[in-house]
Amino acid sequence: MTLHAEIRVARGEFDLSLDLTVEPGEVVALLGPNGAGKTTALRAISGLLPLGDGRIALDEEVWDEPPRTFRTPDRRPIGVVFQDYLLFDHLNCLENVAFGLRARGVDKHAARAEATRWLDTVGLSSYARSRPRSLSGGQAQRVALVRALATSPSLLLLDEPLAALDASTTLHVRAELGQHLDRFPGHTLLVTHDPLDAMVLADRLVIVEHGRVVQEGRPTEIARRPRTDYVAQLVGLNLYRGRASGNTVSLSEGGTITLAEPASGPVHVAFPPTAVSLYPEAPSGSPRNTWPATVTGIEQHAHTVRVRLTATPAGPTTLLADITPAAVADLHLSPGQPLHASLKATEIHTYPV
Amino acid sequence: MSRRSRSTIGRLPLVLLLPALLGLAFLLIPLVGLLAKAPWSTLPSRLFSTDVWDALRLSLLCATAATAMCMVLGIPLAWLLARAPIPGRGVIRALVTVPLVLPPVVGGVALLLVLGRRGLVGQHLDAWFGISLPFTTAGVIVAEAFVAMPFLVISVEGALRAADPRYEEAAATLGAGRWLTFRRVTLPSIAPGVVAGAVLCWARALGEFGATITFAGNFPGRTTTMPLAVYLALETDPDVAVVLSLVLLIVSVVVLASLRERWISGLR
């Protein structure tokens, strides 16, 4: 059983056109910036938004194929965890979890017993009689998860499942969610704008920008070989496009980068910000890939400082460098300051466009 | 805190304060007069006379039945106005509120023309089912429902608009159809609005006079509700009118107290 979705939705200026497949047991993350169309895709698959064109089918079972076929959400074998959970406040936790079973015709006692068992799997059986309003964010998320899982759906859809949590609980809840997704035998589609959630939870990433798929693949592949600036920024790499000839790449934005290993043709050039060093004066011996550069921004990260530079005309237009706070102090860094940036050729990774 | 509020009052312009106090007095003094004129010594015996008791019983029965009728018809109508993608919704909403501003007597006349024995619908009701509404207790209920229903519809529609439709979407993804979703998710979430609307509707029905006397007439025990009885008594025995009015006043105050500020939020 494979979920095939060819989603075509037009809403005013915005049009969404993306193809997705999800295999059984697979967790696919739809990752993209706000407004990329991720949630629209999730609503189309769940049946909350009819397709304009295209087709959604689970194997031979067609869910939506305009203009002939449309199954309403209640007739699709799905479970949805919404961003702000949407737990029913007039029902207690047990009744919330039992709701889907009751709606699908399970009798009251069996539904309650099953819901109790589900609450138990997330350690919340003692909260069965509590109102959702009285739960913490992490607890509410778990109730929302088992409410969606209780009907044994073929497809589990999660819309930003960790976005409503505060930072201190996210780590724990993410790990726990990962365990539940591992155990879930059906298809899982996760929508998120957080690369960490996607990398940790998903087997495969589908990256969406402006309503289109721009890259898809395994998380390790994406982290090593980003194909768009957005993805490069997500995984924290410097990324350029250019044309390689021997050991030199002429960047499409201007400037050149020298490679340690030869390449040819149109390539992506990627390297981590830690591969860039900064000097107040041109380093002696003037190695390759050293450019005069100007500081355009400084950001404090956990234990490093990320410096944004411009190295035109000889090097890249924008360049990120990670340096230690001690180095910041030594260099007396400030915006507009002229420096010299040097890039280690051995840390550059090139791959075809 | 208290000093600040006192100084604020001190700065209130007299040109506003004076009419405001007059307005308050204008609203309250008639009620005080009612209390002052009440025949307290003979009150118990008058209160438990069969005439008063019959009128009160009939009033409560009819107002409650009218409210039930308004809920059965009015809640779905409110849902339609709030949620269904129907053309000309603004016009329909305006039409629904017409009985609010229409003089009740006109409503009664309209009901007679439509549901009377020779009326548009009434002649068929009479011919096919042998049902005749005018000048019956059922007629009282219909007249009261006609006048009171807008209160319920407006209140419930407001509550529906304020309710987050995404909960209904969540219910749909859990396998609930439209009707189940309405019963188990929508209705409980708008319950305060429904209660507020129903109480307003009931209070309006209880006090209904014009449409009732026009459409249902004045037959003691059958169509003479409290307001009609008050009006009648005023001509024959004013003391009884005062007693009946007191009873209605107490019922109104109890309704108001039970609602507190809630009906305001229900209407918004």
Tell me the HSE value of A155 on the side-chain side, using a 13 A CA sphere: 28
pLDDT-derived band of residue A142, with 50, 70 and 90 as boundaries? very high
Domains A3-233 and A236-352 share a fold: no
**Domain range list for chain A:** 3-233, 236-352
Architecture of the domain spanning B42-267: Orthogonal Bundle (1.10)
pLDDT confidence tier of residue A282, bands split at 50, 70 and 90: confident
Q: Is the pLDDT of residue B266 over 50?
A: no
Check pLDDT > 60 for residue A49.
Answer: yes
Report how far residue B134's alpha carbon sits from residue B216's, in angstroms, rounded to the nearest whole number: 5
pLDDT at A56: 96
More confident residue, A12 or B207: B207
Cis peptide before B76 (omega within 30 of 0): no
Q: Residue count of chain B, please give it.
A: 268
The whole-chain average pLDDT of chain A stands at 92
B120-140 average pLDDT score: 88
Contact check, Cβ <8 Å, A78/B185: no
The domain defined by A236-352 folds into OB fold (Dihydrolipoamide Acetyltransferase, E2P) (2.40.50)
A80 vs B170: CB contact, 8 Å cut-off? yes
Q: Sort out which chain A residues have CB atoms less than 8 A from B166's CB and list them.
A: 82, 86
pLDDT score recorded for residue B1: 44
For tokens 């207690």, the residue is: A92
State the pairing for strand pair A290-300/A338-343. Answer: antiparallel
Residues B183-234: pLDDT tens digits? 999 999 999 899 989 998 999 999 999 999 999 988 888 899 999 999 988 8
ipTM strictly over 0.85? no
Q: Is B47 on the interface with A (CB under 8 A)?
A: no
Q: What is the pLDDT of residues A51-90, one digit of tens each?
A: 999 999 998 899 999 998 999 999 999 999 999 999 999 9
> Tens digit of pLDDT for each residue in B162-188?
999 999 999 999 999 999 999 999 999
For A158-185, how does the pLDDT look when each residue is reduced to its tens digit (9 = 90+)?
A: 999 998 888 888 888 899 999 999 999 9
Q: What average pLDDT does this structure show over B70-83?
A: 94
Cβ separation A88–B176 shorter than 8 A? no
Domain positions in chain B:
1-37, 42-267
List A310's β-bridge partners, or say none.
A294
pLDDT in tens, A229-274: 999 988 889 999 999 999 999 999 888 999 988 999 999 999 999 9
Q: For the segment B136-148, what is each residue's pLDDT rounded down to a tens digit?
A: 999 999 999 999 9
Closest residue to B188, CB basis, from A48, A90, A100: A90
Q: Which helix (H) or strand (E) holds A155?
A: strand A155-159
Q: Please, which pLDDT band fits residue B261 given cuts at 50, 70 and 90? A: low
| Range list of H helices, A185-310 | 195-201, 219-224, 229-235
Whether B169 sits inside 8 A of A73 (CB atoms) is yes
Q: What torsion, rounded to 10 degrees, do the Cα atoms A186, A190, A195, A196 define?
A: -60
Quick one: three-class SS letters along chain B?
CHHHHHHHHHCCCHHHHHHHHHHHHHHHHHHHHHHHHCCHHHHHHHHCCHHHHHHHHHHHHHHHHHHHHHHHHHHHHHHHHHHCCCCCHHHHHHHHCHHHHCCHHHHHHHHHHHHCCCCCCHHHHHHHHCCCCCCCHHHHHHHHHHHHHHHHHHHHHHHHHHCCCHHHHHHHHCCCCHHHHHHHHHHHHCHHHHHHHHHHHHHHHHCCCHHHHHHCCCCCCCCCCHHHHHHHHHHHCHHHHHHHHHHHHHHHHHHHHHHCCHHHHHHC
**Bridge partners, residue A192, by sequence:** A31
% of chain A beyond a pLDDT of 70: 99
The sign of the CA dihedral A162, A163, A164, A167 is positive
Class of domain A3-233: alpha beta
Question: pTM for the full model?
Answer: 0.81
- What pLDDT was estimated at residue B267? 44
The letter for the amino acid at A214 is: V
B237 touches chain A (CB under 8 A): no
With CA atoms as reference, report the closest residue to B267 among B158, B179, B131: B158
pLDDT at B268: 39
CB contact under 8 Å between B172 and A47, yes or no, is yes
